[in-house]
Amino acid sequence: MRAVCISAAQTVTGLGPDLDSLWRGVLNNESAIRPLTRFATGRYRSEIASWIEGLDCRNGVSGIHLLLERLLDGFGPVPADATLITASTKGCIDVMESINGGGTGDPAEVTMAHLLDRISGRFGLGSPGVNINAACASSTIAVARAASLIAAGRNEAVLVVCMDLVSEFVFSGFSALQALSAARCRPFDRNRDGLTLGEGGAALLLMSRERAQREGRPELGLVAGWGSANDATHITAPARDGCGLIQAVRQALNRASIGPEQIAAISAHGTATLYNDQMELTAFLTLFGERNLPMNSIKGAIGHTLGAAGGIEIALGLKCLEERILPPTVGMREPDEGGEGFLSCSAQPINGSYLLSTNSGFGGVNAAMIISRGEG
Amino acid sequence: MEVFLSGIGWVTSAGFGWGKQGGECTLADLPLRSPSRKEVFPEPNQRFGRMSDYSKVGLGAVAFALRDAGLETWSTKRTIGVVVATQLGCLVTDLDYHRSVLLEGGGLASPNLFAYTLANCFLGEAAIQFGLTGSSVAINEAREGLDSLCIAIEDLAMGEADTMLAGICDLAVPEAFAGQVTLLPGALFIVLSAAPNPATESYGTVTLTDNGLLYNGLAVASLIELVQAALAGRAAPTHFDKTLQPRKP
């Protein structure tokens, strides 16, 4: 197996147009969650989200294009032989809303092939690529797929682009499922009462370490291990015993050839729903025991960005390993039972080389990614 | 990487079935009917009636493929993965759900429909129904299922699972989106394993090469072509390319 490195990473979130602004924001306990103006929220359980100015669907043109422009402008060169993998649950959902509501919009935009073509064309890539749709674990699985292709020697470079918007479509759905918090979400808090949606994107360039070194590209971090599993329990709720997440993390540990004691920090999914966060704590206690292991969730800062969540969290994880600091769990006041020793309202030091990032989603999906510190 | 094909199942507008039952698998430009619960499961199934048509069609094809491979019944969960390629995913369900959002300012949005507005959700249904705990992923591609086949074979090669289902699933293109995508509606799944499946006889081998996919050593250009070759027992697709060689280990 070949070593896989991440040689470029960028994000766009409610906290700012790049990874540095995201890093500064979460480190300072800031939150981009605020009242929504994109659509009327009067009939929903919440009126807030972490949203990005200017991403409204205008004249039938999806806001995701502007998101991608902001994300990819200045991203840097991508090798022409790179394969493209995108991660999005709903793509140009705002165009579908417009058309279905009697408004304008290009029906072609509703297909993911359209987005793939645009991104592929922007970088002059030779193949159209694929979009991964695995609910809220989409981008973690996309990065895993990219790493797998490179590790097996099938590709030298893979560009992963992750994105999802805050739309009324999704907002109304989580509201109907009684999953939205009326106030800013409080991941892993004893009194949490639901999630807050967010929008954003992440772009990651994965390369074989050898190729990156040969081309003099930076090594922001290494993808050490990955895993994915279905808990086979429920469509919209996690298995209470965390069996799927435990299986995914164990796969990732095996792939990385490390033991659980070598994990130095966890970037958890932490949606702030009652069942998700409890499931994660159960899984992590099973996997790591009760040792003090820094863990956080950034969803109180940038909301739940759905198919982009894992990509944003991996990009931020690289920064965490570089700075050896895990930002606070924004929004949490008092850790839930079992979370003491893991979670903090303040930044925590990272004493080690490996960071575990996990995501779970509808359809019983669980995904785990282990990244390690790069050499700069 | 060479893997073994041991199960084939389909739900198309030309009919539904599984390989060892006999019959032909054909994708056709005809109206697609979702299978009924009785056509898929012999026993009552409380979940099936509430599912979206996209889920019923996809889950039906998964069920038939597992039946064909002798893997339908189970007592403990199994590390079997599923990957489905789709062009439009659950767009039809999205439109239905969104119509419920348009009423009363979203106050009548249907939580049940919303649960099926992800292209991967029927894979979750399959996982629950058949105890599948491997990776379950939907991908959007326009290569007639080739990418789902590649991912399944690559996952087997990487040791992610011992058995994988790979398939395609799409409903007919909704009227408002006609002309944007060319597809034949239906779902089709195959069962692949790293070693011969002890539960049933294999149809043949599928090999991933640097230049494409081979079925029993002969090139195939799509999932339906592979399936039709396997069902016919034939080993000579019309565009056999002698230059294709199995990938070196």
User: DSSP labels for B43-69?
Assistant: S--TTGGGS-HHHHHHHHHHHHHHHHT
Question: β-strands A354-361, A263-267: how paired?
Answer: parallel
Is A134 in contact with B177 (Cβ distance < 8 A)? no
| pLDDT (0 to 100) of residue B234 | 39
| Assembly ipTM | 0.95
Interface mutation target, options B135, B143, B153, B182, chain A, most CBs of A under 10 Å:
B135
A64, A91 Cβ separation under 8 angstroms: yes
A334, A366 Cβ separation under 8 angstroms: no
- Nearest one of B189, B28, B172 to B88, comparing CA atoms: B172
Token pair, residue A58, equals 């205008």
* Residues of A with active-site annotation: 136, 269, 304
* Chain A residue numbers touching B134 (CB-CB < 8 A): 228-230
- For chain B, counts of helices (H) and of strands (E): 7, 9
CA distance A129 to B191: 24
Nearest to B98 among A100, A107, A174 (CB): A100
CA angle A265, A270, A273 (to 5 degrees): 160
CA distance B232 to chain A (A): 30
A310, A166 Cβ separation under 8 angstroms: no
CB atoms within 10 A of CB B61: 33
Nearest to A43 among B77, B98, B105 (CB): B105
Q: Helix or strand or coil: residue B131?
A: coil
| pLDDT (0 to 100) of residue B107 | 86
| pLDDT (0 to 100) of residue A70 | 97
Point out which residues pair with B138 in neighbouring strands.
Answer: A133, B84
* Chain A residue numbers touching B138 (CB-CB < 8 A): 132-134
Is B102 in contact with A132 (Cβ distance < 8 A)? no
- pLDDT tens sequence across A276-308: 999 999 999 999 998 889 999 999 999 999 999
- Nearest one of A87, A165, A72 to A124, comparing CA atoms: A72
Q: Helix or strand or coil: residue B173?
A: coil
- pLDDT tens sequence across B84-123: 999 999 999 999 999 999 988 888 899 999 999 999 999 9
- Would you call A257 an interface residue with chain B, using a CB distance cutoff of 8 Å? no
Is B127 in contact with A230 (Cβ distance < 8 A)? yes
Token pair, residue A347, equals 């930044």
Nearest to A173 among B117, B121, B141 (CB): B117
- Report chain B (249 residues): mean pLDDT per 10 consecutive residues: 96 95 92 95 90 97 97 96 97 96 88 95 96 97 89 94 96 92 95 92 94 94 95 55 36
The Cα-based distances of A197 to A16, A131, A134, A179, B6 in angstroms read 16, 21, 17, 10, 43
What residues in chain A have per-residue pLDDT under 70? 376
| pLDDT (0 to 100) of residue B241 | 38
- pLDDT tens sequence across B211-238: 899 999 999 999 999 999 999 983 344 4
Torsion sign, CA atoms B59, B60, B66, B71: positive
Token pair, residue B231, equals 């069902």
Q: How far from each other are the two terminal CA atoms of chain B, in whole angstroms?
A: 7
CA B71 to chain CA mean position, Å = 15
A303, A197 Cβ separation under 8 angstroms: yes
Nearest to A43 among B106, B128, B154 (CB): B106
* Chain B residue numbers touching A89 (CB-CB < 8 A): 118
Hey, which residues 42-71 in chain A have their CB within 8 Å of chain B?
42-44
Is A132 in contact with B109 (Cβ distance < 8 A)? no
3-state SS, chain A, equals CCCEEEEEEEEEECCECCHHHHHHHHHCCCCCEEECCCCCCCCCCCCEEECCCCCCCECCECHHHHHHHHHHCCCCCCCCCCEEEEECCCCCHHHHHHHHCCCCCCHHHHCHHHHHHHHHHHHCCCCCCEEEEECECHHHHHHHHHHHHHHCCCCCEEEEEEEECCCHHHHHHHHHCCCECCCCCCCCECCCCCECEECEEEEEEEEEHHHHHHCCCCCCEEEEEEEEEECCCCCCCCCCCCHHHHHHHHHHHHHHCCCHHHEEEEECCCCCCHHHHHHHHHHHHHHHCCCCCCEECCHHHHCECHHHHHHHHHHHHHHHHHHCEECCCCCCCCECCCCCCCCCCCCEECCCCEEEEEEEEHHHEEEEEEEEECCC
Burial (CB count <10 Å: 0-12, 13-18, 19+), residue A255:
buried
| pLDDT (0 to 100) of residue B20 | 93
- Would you call A190 an interface residue with chain B, using a CB distance cutoff of 8 Å? no
CA distance A373 to A222: 6
Is A134 in contact with B132 (Cβ distance < 8 A)? no
CB atoms within 10 A of CB A262: 16
Q: Tokens 């769990």 map to which residue?
A: A329
Token pair, residue A242, equals 């965390």
Token pair, residue B149, equals 């086949």
- The alpha-carbon radius of gyration of chain B (Å, integer) is 18
Q: Which of the 8 DSSP states describes residue A327?
A: P
| pLDDT (0 to 100) of residue B197 | 87
| pLDDT (0 to 100) of residue A43 | 93
CA distance A115 to chain B (A): 11
| pLDDT (0 to 100) of residue B249 | 32
| pLDDT (0 to 100) of residue B242 | 36
Point out which residues pair with B187 in neighbouring strands.
Answer: B11, B169
* Chain A residue numbers touching B97 (CB-CB < 8 A): 169, 173
* Chain A residue numbers touching B133 (CB-CB < 8 A): 229-232, 243-244, 247
Written as one letter, the residue type at A371 is: I
Q: Helix or strand or coil: residue A150?
A: helix
CA angle A299, A303, A309 (to 5 degrees): 75
- Nearest one of A159, A170, A204 to A318, comparing CA atoms: A204
CA distance A23 to A327: 8
CB atoms within 10 A of CB A232: 24
Find all residues with CB under 8 Å of A53, minimum gap 6, and list them: none
Q: Is the pTM of this model over 0.80?
A: yes
* Chain B residue numbers touching A147 (CB-CB < 8 A): none
- Over the range A270-292, which residues count as b (16 or more CB within 10 Å of their CB) and which as e? bbbbeebbbbbbbbbbebbeeee
Q: Which DSSP string do the residues of A239-295 spell out, in sequence order?
A: -TT-HHHHHHHHHHHHHHT--GGGEEEEE------HHHHHHHHHHHHHHHTTS---E
CA distance A376 to chain B (A): 29
A300, A198 Cβ separation under 8 angstroms: no
Nearest to B106 among A44, A93, A365 (CB): A44
Q: For B211, name the nearest residue in chain A, comparing CA atoms only.
A: A154
